[in-house]
Amino acid sequence: MADHASAKKRIRRNERRAEINTARRSRLRSFLKKVETEITSGNSADAKEALRLAQKELFKSVSKGILRKETASRKLSRLSARVKAI
């Protein structure tokens, strides 16, 4: 168990950050799921709008350290191709 005050503070901080990161990751997944449902429904206009919102959320998660830049670009590329194919 942590004995120093700084170590105890670090534990508290890590717990708070983990909670925040979990919420951000969940939010990102929700946006991606919305794009998936619009793709399966076949509605092109709604899928494009959902993709636009998901793109913003993907790159926000990159800046917050949730995803790597390459991962976000790959996800966006694959979703864009699927939306374009509708």
> Per-residue pLDDT tens for 51-81?
999 999 999 999 999 999 999 999 999 999 9
What's the pLDDT band for 47 if we cut at 50, 70, 90?
A: very high
pLDDT in tens, 26-37: 999 999 999 999
Ordered alpha helix ranges (H), 1-86: 5-41, 44-63, 69-84
* pTM for the full predicted model: 0.84
What's the pLDDT band for 82 if we cut at 50, 70, 90?
A: very high
Domain boundaries, the chain: 5-84
DSSP code at position 66: S
What local confidence, expressed as pLDDT, does residue 3 receive?
A: 85
Burial class of 54 by CB neighbour count within 10 A (0 to 12, 13 to 18, 19+): buried
Name the superfamily (CATH) of residues 5-84: Ribosomal protein S20 (1.20.58.110)
Which among 55, 47, 48, 53 is positioned nearest to 72, based on CA atoms?
55
Burial class of 4 by CB neighbour count within 10 A (0 to 12, 13 to 18, 19+): exposed
